[in-house]
Chain A
Amino acid sequence: MGEWAIEARGLEKSFGTVHAVRGLDLSVAKGEVFGLLGPNGAGKTTSLEMLEGLIRPDKGEIRILGLDWKTDGHEIRGRVGVQFQSTQLDDRVKVREALAIFGSYYKKSRPVADLLKLLQLEEKADSFQSKLSGGQRQRLALGLALVNDPELVFLDEPTTGLDPQARQSLWDLVRGLKREGRTVLITTHYMDEAEALCDRVGIMDQGRILQLGTPRELIASLSQPSYAEIEFQGAAPEAGPFAACLGLPVEAKSSHWAVSLVDPREDLQKLLACVASLDIPMQQLHVRRATLEDVFLQRTGRSLRD
């Protein structure tokens, strides 16, 4: 009991010959918003389903709110809320009915009117789910995870496929959960989402957590925490002479070059000098701070969206 909402040690899960999760250790403190980050197929959903008690790990220990799925499953289910990537409830259930029927599964449940207000779905209360927009559907799915006033909420890629405005309104809801003192475990492959919402993130790839910390710590751990990008009007020219002049590796993309800056002050001066001396037809120059995306790239050598 005590301070941990989730404790997992040495989780492993295989499906046939596929090792979906290979040795996951995870502790999430009560009141924390924790993000599991990684590309599709990294093992996020499998990890989540083990923590949610849906599938049994082949190996390892899980404690949820200090309880064990094997002996206290019924109690855990009453105290956690779960949202899936794509829950397709029956389209012919109205929003109000869905909240009410899910509420009836629990000993205590929040009033439907309160939930509708929280989710900003009051006007859609008597609509069928098939008439909801993508954002409204996701808000309802989140609402169904909140009917029992849960202490711990699992969110699996809650904003995948949403437009920016709908994402923002879902983010506000998640921030609200944190203010109310709930623990949130969220999976996402959007790095900006993790930076915006999470107290701590774990970067997952190929069934393992590669690195774990606050978003700031992870970015600071990069050897080159900032980047310069030189953009061209048309195709980028051959980068070899420029890299030689600069003395740093240059990553040549189709229409721009990207350079990791070791010492921003010195490297930028050198960069501008080389642009001038080699007469590089630079259109624009961007300097940006590294993101979690870069952390992932550096740790795995691959980009997240692959």
Chain B
Amino acid sequence: MYLRMFLNQLWMSLKIISRVPSAVIWLFAFPAVMLLGLGAVFSGAAEGPKLVWSHTATDSKADDFLAEALRERGVRVEILSPADAEARWQQGKLASMLEGDDGHYVLRANSYLMMQALQTEALVQQAYLTAQARAQGASDLARVPVTKSSPGGHHDGPYAAFLLPGLIGLNVLMMGLFATGVTDVTMRDKGGYKRLATTPLPRGIYIGAQISGRLCTLVASAAMLMLVGGLVFGIRNQGSYGAMLALILLGGLCFSSLGYLLGSFARTVESYSGLANLLFLPLMLLSGVYFSLDAAPVWLQKGAELLPLAPLLKALRAVFNDGATLLSQGPQLAVIAGWLVVLFGLAVKRFRWV
């Protein structure tokens, strides 16, 4: 009887979520676009930088050595006549441009795009040294070998592999703060809860089904991200799927409680949005969704680790990228579970149907 009520209610809540365009966009389209977009921009590994070479077509041994050395370093060289090259430069899209020939070169760097220009410069300088050595008949000098490895050491994933667990965590945060809280406030404000309170439907079943419905969508969204990440960037979950599921559910419960708790402080959706954003932006920025916080001051990092999102992201990354077990994530789990107990308790205490 109660199980059927629960399943009916769960099915209805999933149907409603699937009919809210913004929910579908935020849960599926937004994380997929972020993963594809940021993943591609910061990957850097797939294709080397482009370099336009303004060159008059004379035959020169020195030019050949330089071109070969650049190619070896992954630089994609495009040779243009000085007039054409100048025209391209004027468009402003080139980070740097190589000019001159037969051993006399100048690298023009775009002052607006210095980060990219410096990266190219390093490659050009190395290539030039190699080319000079080869022109004099010397053998190549030894280089420092480079191995790629993630901080956990088990997987040499691209930036997308760092980003993916971050996006899963971001989804958990947004689900709790926005989907849960806004629905809670709307239901109370518009009398939806009051109407339900006049029926024999047990309250726990209703709220339980609502939370379960959102957890289902979180899991579906995470599965979609992993699928896209696997297909596009070739990144795979290095840990167990059970551990990922457990982390998503634990985080989901924690942030659902936060949504309900916060909802109890607002009368209308408008006032709620202000409250939610007040928490959302700092949580997102301090917890390292997109970038590692290594560069931040230590007190800020330590502070962020006490909030619930940073430990969740840390644990998700440890499992997904380094194949860590749940047991090894004890400190992180303890912080999240502690928040869950506090937030859940307060949310239950403050919850009102009318």
Listed in ascending order, the chain A residues whose CB lies under 8 Å from chain B are 49, 52-55, 74, 77-78, 80, 82, 84, 86-90, 92-93, 97, 101-102, 104-107, 144, 148
Contact B4 A105 (CB under 8 A): no
**15 residue pairs A–B, Cβ–Cβ below 8 Å:** A53-B198, A54-B354, A78-B200, A80-B198, A84-B194, A84-B195, A90-B16, A90-B192, A92-B20, A93-B16, A101-B8, A104-B5, A105-B200, A105-B201, A106-B200
Known contacts: A92-B20, A93-B16, A97-B15. The answer to whether A105 contacts B194 by CB under 8 A is no
Find chain A residues with CB under 8 A from B16 CB.
90, 92-93
Find chain A residues with CB under 8 A from B192 CB.
87-90
Contact A86 B201 (CB under 8 A): no
Given A88-B190, A90-B192, output 10 extra A-B contacts at Cβ < 8 Å.
Answer: A78-B200, A84-B191, A87-B194, A92-B16, A92-B19, A92-B20, A93-B12, A101-B9, A104-B4, A106-B200
Q: Which of B337-354 contact A (CB under 8 A)?
A: 353-354
Least CB distance from B58 to A in Å reads 71
Least CB distance from B117 to A in Å reads 52
Q: Which of B175-214 contact A (CB under 8 A)?
A: 186, 190-192, 194-195, 197-201
Q: Give a binary string over B4-44; 1 marks a CB under 8 Å from any A CB, 0 the rest.
A: 11001100100110011000000000000000000000000
B contacts with A: majority SS: helix
B: contact size bracket: 20 to 34
Q: Give complex CA distance A97, B12 in Å.
A: 8
Q: Which of B218-239 contact A (CB under 8 A)?
A: none
A-B pairs with lowest CB-CB distance, top 5:
A88-B190, A105-B201, A82-B198, A92-B19, A105-B199
Find chain B residues with CB under 8 A from A78 CB.
200
Contact A87 B200 (CB under 8 A): no
**Residue of B9, B12, B19, B195 with highest tally of chain A CB at under 10 A:** B195
Find chain A residues with CB under 8 A from B15 CB.
97
Contact B5 A105 (CB under 8 A): yes
Find chain B residues with CB under 8 A from A101 CB.
8-9, 12
Q: Give complex CA distance A26, B186 in Å.
A: 34
Q: Give a binary string over B86-98; 1 marks a CB under 8 Å from any A CB, 0 the rest.
A: 0000000000000
Find chain B residues with CB under 8 A from A86 CB.
190-191
Least CB distance from B252 to A in Å reads 21
Q: Give complex CA distance A49, B197 in Å.
A: 11
Q: Give complex CA distance A59, B16 in Å.
A: 41
Q: Give complex CA distance A86, B189 in Å.
A: 11
Of all chain A residues, the one with the shortest Cβ separation from B198 is A82
Least CB distance from B53 to A in Å reads 59
Known contacts: A93-B12, A93-B16. The answer to whether A52 contacts B198 by CB under 8 A is yes
Find chain B residues with CB under 8 A from A92 CB.
16, 19-20
